[in-house]
Amino acid sequence: MPQTDAETLVQEVSAYLKPKDVAQIEAALAFSIHAHQGQLRESGAPYITHPISVARILTPLHMDAQAITAALLHDVAEDTGISIDELAEKFGKPVAELVDGLSKLDKLKFETKEDAQAENFRKMLMAMARDVRVILIKLADRLHNMRTLGSVSKQKSERIAHETMDIYAPIANRLGLNSVYQELEDLSFKYLHPNRYAVLSKALKVARGNRREVVSKILEAIHQKLDENHIKAEVRGREKHLFGIYQKMQSKSLAFSQVLDIYGFRVLVDDVPSCYLALGVLHSLYKPFPGRFKDYIAIPKANGYQSLHTALFGPFGTPIEVQIRTHQMNELAESGVASHWLYKSSETQINDLHQKTHQWLQSLLESLAQSGDSVEFLEHLKVDLFPDEVYVFSPKGKIYALPRGATTVDFAYSVHTDIGNRCVAAKVNAELVPLRTELRNGDRVEIITAPLAHPNPAWLSYVVTSKARSEIRHALKTMHLEESARLGERLLGQALNSLGIKLQDIEDMCWERVLKETGAKSRQDIFADIGLGRRLNMVIARQLARLSDSEGARGDSSGIITLLGTEGMAVQYAKCCRPIPGDPIIGVIKSGQGLIVHTHDCPSLRKGRGSSEEWLDVVWDRTINKLFEVSIKLIVANQRGVLAKVAAAIADADSNIENVHFTSEGEYTALYFTLQVNNRLHLANVMRGLRKIPEVIRITRVKSIPG
């Protein structure tokens, strides 16, 4: 075990921690050395080199003694059989909780690697929400593993690099840990595309040598101009990270020789006014590129990053990228949420950053709670970690950061879940727009709501934020259950009527016995299960009748369910035959889908018609008031303007066209329409109007439209 690493760690923590804290770290160091005695890494190095290296990655961030201790012990519980309780007893509960949050879930069995990976992230993020130090230690752990990835197999290194690129690097970016983020991306790039990495590294070294003189000249000119204007500043050269250059080449289809701005400059000043003064001085020194200026001081990024960015025409026409920021903004940019440990003051910037981080973690936890499975949650997480963002304004001027591609529905849910659920329309820059409209930087967005509105399943096809997606799914699931419960209650009432019992007359004691026998939690659950076809209404009715000792009483045996048109998602009208009021109909209960209504003569029912218990007699309510889809086919003569005449006739009959499709048949054309009508009488009026058009040769109602 190399003593120098351990000694260096103790020296580094001694520089900023109290002697009592240093003593705890030394005790943890000795404990970890003993626990990992004889263990080797895949490279052949003593295993203890890994936890010491992880702890040393955290010392420049001035992490506290608990975090450094947890970093030294993070593999002890996992690899040596020492329990979390033992660690809590020796080093305190906070340290033990940090270690537990970092532990993998090796003891649990998962069906696939994806499930295991997703469950890992669930546990890690829940621990991270309690204490953000968990993710900081995890990122340091991953960074050291990536630095030493050369000693593992190609298959394993590619898997770890993919995971790092997809999850860990974006998390580091989201938390504002810029240097960690860039190094993780570069190392992932190295193992995912080794040849491209090698070629690009070599080209960068050559370019660096060739441009050294130009860079020195620009640095000198910037220094001189700032001094002339009495602006105290520190100017640094800044090289773009390798993967950033590769991404630029890919996105803009450039050769390396065309990426001229691989070298940038960073100007650090004392306060915010000096940032804007320095910007003016630089714009007078070199001409700025139009449209390349970004003010992240006035509108910070979601991870708290603040800076002025500008692109300038340098000497010999060389493009230069310059970042201008205060010293504290620079520390925040490099250390992100970890800046809390660097600065012990309660300054506004740091508080805002921690608040934003907390809000992001809470939104992740909400989607975690509402996700049906771990893999779905992992998809939510990946969607939520993209770096590109747009900044939009509420009507009152509040700024919201959303991912690129976000729609007005995403914005509605980012304001509040209730706003999203009740959203019916949106205005962007005072103009009404479709809900699927993608937002752009600077848009002013107003959401129009209605008290009885609810989410539309179609929204799932275009929302991009995990919050919107999980809230829509949750609301739809809740709606489906509520509507199914109402239908199930009616179905059970009908079954009880046939046994001569009224649903409202069933005593609570009978319900309690049935709940116990069925294992259901509540009456509502039983109603929902009946409505969804998971339980049979007659079976539950007989159980209740037996318990109430009323079976066999004379009752209404008609067994007919009346459709009111207000059942929502609990009742589906079959696409194969598109029933409308006035059609003779029959219902089938399918497990998990609820009641599906078909016409009596539906061809698809002839094959599946079996057990009578799955089938229900249903009738239309006389007062039903709802629009239904119906399909018709017209054979028309190929003449100019015939489609316009047909559309006008449909509109005159007060019907809407949902879809139109046509096929040519020589001198004639077959037009297929999906229309919205109230009932068969309304359809008859539509068809009567169409028959009056001279070009219409034949008209029929069809069960479905050909694709």
By annotation, the residues acting in catalysis are 78-79
d(CA 21, CA 494): 73
User: Buried b / exposed e across 488-526, counting CB within 10 Å, b at 16+?
Assistant: bbbbbbbbbbbbebeeeebeeebbebbeeeeebeebbbb
DSSP for 306-355, please give it. --EEEEEE-GGG-EEEEEEEEHHHHHHHHHGGGHHHH--S--HHHHHHHH
How many residues can be counted in the chain?
Answer: 707
d(CA 404, CA 328): 28
d(CA 637, CA 695): 5
3-class DSSP assignment, residue 427? strand
d(CA 330, CA 315): 27
CA distances from 627 to 152, 452, 570, 678, 681 (A): 63, 18, 17, 5, 13
Residue 167 per-residue DSSP state: I
- Report whether 28 contacts 72 (CB < 8 A): yes
- Report whether 49 contacts 1 (CB < 8 A): yes
CA distances from 207 to 201, 204, 256, 645 (A): 10, 5, 10, 69
d(CA 35, CA 76): 7
Nearest to 300 by CA among 273, 270, 327, 332: 332
